[in-house]
Structure 1
Amino acid sequence: MQDELIVDQGSGDRDFVASLEKGLLVIEAFDANRPRLTLSDVAKLTGITRAAARRYLLTLTKLNYAEFDGRYFSLTPRILRLGYAYLSSASLSAQVQPFLERISEETGESSSAAILDGDDIVYIARSATRRIMSIGLGVGSRLPAHCTALGRAILAHQPDDVIDAYLQRVRLEARTPKTITDKAAFRAVLEATRAQGYALVSEELEYGLRSIAVPVVHRNGKVTIALNLSAQAGRVSAEDMEGRFLPLLRSSSETLRYML
């Protein structure tokens, strides 16, 4: 999720409901790193006034999508209904899941599928054999695209103007000292990723984590989803990932392109 959320009033579109947009931004202000927020926090993150933020938060609380302890607001499990509406109506996750389970079974490592949403990746399916990150990941989890193999595998196959716009607006935040934060260097990494057809990221998201990802190239040539395998860097070398894991990922990707 971006550090700051900018509200676009959409004044040129008579069908655009600005109040709905603001309400969704209030919901999106909460994430794994910010599970509890004050009224001031929400106003700052969304860019809306305190008075407006208060109305949206109290409405969410009255509808049982949020709760308030006198100082902090937090989302309730009822909010999962919004995500489940997508999962239950979309076949994408269901189609990908068997492939991830087979990959994990054959390798003994965790595998995932993700799409790009703004400047983040969002996990749409996952088969975890062990916990290898300090944070728990599941369907719906978000991570910055720039320091993940999944994000790079998707970004590298976007049109040049999309990549240019991404690099103009994003801040390449350092998650570890190994994270690439120079935009020229990052562009070169994306070019190399596109040329070789996969992304390999070693300890740029988190110490001790290595991941390899491949795009799923649809029949129309577009890339909206990627598959990955992640492992502890101390157990699996980059060479092992390229030699053992890459062929399996590519095989699954090639099959999925004719299914999705």
Structure 2
Amino acid sequence: MADDQAQDQRRAPSPAVDRALTVLETLVSADEPLTLTSLAKQTKIPLATCAAIVYTLEERGYASRRIVGRSHFWRPTLRLYGLSAQLVRKIDLSEIAQPHLRRLADSLGMPAHVGVLNGRTVVYVAKAAPPGFIQFDTYPGKVAPFNLTALGRAIAAYLPDSELAPLLGQLAVGTGPKAPPPTTEAFREALLSVRDQGYALEDEEETAEIACVAAPFFDAQGAVAGSVGVTGFSREIAGDRLPAIIDAVRTQSRELSRQLGHMPVAAH
């Protein structure tokens, strides 16, 4: 095992693999088929090397070409879709999230959750809790109004407006002592704050004395896929502990995003 680890540390990235992936990603992201010259220019890969890569991709079924006169136009095939479909079937979000939730729960001494949006509700799909006599009423499968939870707000803040707008007419009224009136304008303002800060905070809006901090995570396409959060007593989350809680939650949300294939070009 030690020898394997030493080999991993010494092994440099493969330029050939990097170039091949760059060509494939460029073909996939292009709006129309590309000529070899255009592909080499966009990828900044020498023409001969680029040609060798696309011919190999064609042979393996990942690219196809259309010949018009003396020009060859290249595009990706649906074989990639077949690979991704197999991968999606094997991915269990609750299983992937468990190590991240366990680190949160152990480091903060609070239950940690992953939530996903389902219509106008947020669904708790995974949970990790520290040992103790006090257990919060949160469990995998629980549903809650999306606007009353930090989990739901962290997701809603990153939805495209075409998906968010239909939800704004279905805002639930909170029963907690600090629940604000559910107005569209106020909620949009709250979501702007979530995007600016990178996290959502809910304090005694759904339930008295209970607060929650959550941050979004993203999939390989850059779309918001869910959120990671912790729940605790309002007195525990507010005050001096809040910055450390926010930092821990955001760290695990970023790690989960990376595990799902998200590679941001700029900070969210």
Determine the structure 2 residue equivalent to 1:174. 174
TM-score normalised by structure 1 residue count = 0.61
Amino acid in the other structure paired with 1:93: S
Equivalent residue, structure 1, for 2:20: none
Q: What does the per-residue CA deviation read over 1:176-218, in whole Å, with 9 as the maximum and x for residues that have no partner? A: 2422322211111011111211101110110101111000022
Quote the residue 1:244 is aligned against. 244
Match of 1:194 in 2: 195
Superposed CA RMSD in Å reads 1.8
- Tell me if the contact between 1:132 and 1:232 (Cα under 8 Å) persists in the aligned partners: no
Instruction: Give 5+ residue unaligned stretches, structure 1.
Output: 1-87
Partner of 1:119: 120
Judging by fraction of residues, say which structure has more helix.
2
Q: Distance in 2 between matches of 1:178 and 1:221?
A: 33
Q: Which residue of 2 aligns with 1:139?
A: 140
Q: Contact 1:149–1:213 (CA<8 Å) still a contact in 2?
A: yes
Would the aligned equivalents of 2:147 and 2:171 in 1 still touch at CA under 8 Å? no
Q: Across the two proteins, how many residue pairs are aligned to each other? A: 169
CA 1:108 to 1:89, structure 2 compared with 1: closer, same or farther past 3 Å?
Answer: same
1:152 matched to 2:153: yes
1:192 maps to a residue whose letter is S
Distance in 1 between the 2:159 and 2:239 partners?
A: 25
**1:106 is the counterpart of 2:94:** no
Question: What is the distance in 1 between the residues matched to 2:239 and 2:144?
Answer: 22
User: What percent identity do the matched residue pairs reach?
Assistant: 28
What is the CA distance between 1:119 and its match in structure 2?
Answer: 0.6
* TM-score under structure 2 length normalisation: 0.59
Matched AA of 1:258: R
Aligned to 1:184: 185
- Aligned-residue offset at 1:227: 0.3
CA displacement at 1:161 relative to structure 2 = 2.0
Residue identity in the other structure for 1:235: E
Secondary structure class of the residue paired with 1:226: strand
Cα deviation, residue 124, structure 1 = 0.9
Determine the structure 2 residue equivalent to 1:216: 217
Distance change (3 Å), C-alpha of 1:204 and 1:238: farther
SS in 2 for 1:258: helix
Which residue pairs with 2:77 in the alignment?
A: none
2:193, 2:240 → 1: CA distance? 17
Larger Rg: 2
